[in-house]
């Protein structure tokens, strides 16, 4: 009986749910831009979450929100162009959301690379075990792979 067969139905469901959620997380952003417009749009979250943009919005918030609270007169034209406190705070919220999305995408890419490396190492270990215990692997009906040249992979 394999380890997977020994799992309860609840454990199978949890593993499937984890796989689905991981697949959704990995699909947050396509790594390849298909057109010039897509390449341009990929820069929007980076620009929104950039430090200069957040600093500019904070300065605008100080000018449009805090200074009037302390009695400094801000012209109506400045408010018309710069917006009001609702606009400024929602822009800062968009920056935070863009930064969070970028963090999730980068975290997913790092996790995917680590999982690919883990899979490669597991396959190499599996091949080594089959090579070292060739008789036992043959008894189980497994093919015994030949090992790659040690100079190529550093084995």
Residue 23 lies in a domain: no
Residue 24 lies in a domain: no
Residue 4 lies in a domain: no
pLDDT value of position 149: 62
Question: What's the pLDDT tens digit per position in 2-46?
Answer: 444 444 555 555 555 555 555 554 455 556 667 888 888 888 888
Residue 127 lies in a domain: yes
The total domain count for the chain is 1
Residue 145 lies in a domain: no
Indicate the pLDDT class of residue 48, thresholds 50, 70 and 90. Answer: confident
Residue 108 lies in a domain: yes
Whether the pLDDT of residue 106 is over 80: the answer is yes
Half-sphere exposure of 75 (CA within 13 A, CB side): 3
Q: How far is Cα 118 from Cα 103, in angstroms, rounded to an integer?
A: 22
Q: Which domain holds residue 73?
A: 33-140
Pairwise pLDDT comparison (127 vs 9), residue with the higher score: 127
Question: What's the pLDDT tens digit per position in 64-85?
Answer: 888 888 888 888 888 777 777 7
Would you tell me the crossing angle of helices 51-61 and 85-132 to the nearest 10 degrees? 160
Residue 106 lies in a domain: yes
Residue 21 lies in a domain: no
């Amino acid at each position: 009986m394999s380890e997977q067969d020994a799992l309860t139905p609840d454990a199978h469901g949890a593993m499937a749910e984890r796989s689905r959620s991981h697949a959704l997380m990995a699909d947050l952003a396509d790594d390849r831009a298909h057109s010039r417009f897509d390449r341009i749009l990929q820069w929007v979250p980076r620009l929104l979450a950039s430090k200069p943009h957040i600093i500019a919005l904070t300065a605008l918030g100080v000018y449009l929100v805090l200074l009037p609270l302390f009695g400094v007169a801000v012209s109506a034209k400045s408010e018309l162009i710069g917006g009001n406190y609702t606009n400024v705070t929602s822009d800062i919220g968009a920056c935070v959301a863009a930064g969070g999305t970028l963090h999730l995408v980068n975290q997913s890419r790092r996790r995917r690379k680590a999982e690919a490396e883990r899979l490669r190492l597991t396959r190499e270990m599996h091949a080594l075990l089959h090579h070292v215990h060739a008789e036992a692997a043959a008894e189980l009906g497994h093919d015994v792979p030949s090992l790659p040249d040690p100079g190529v992979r550093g084995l």
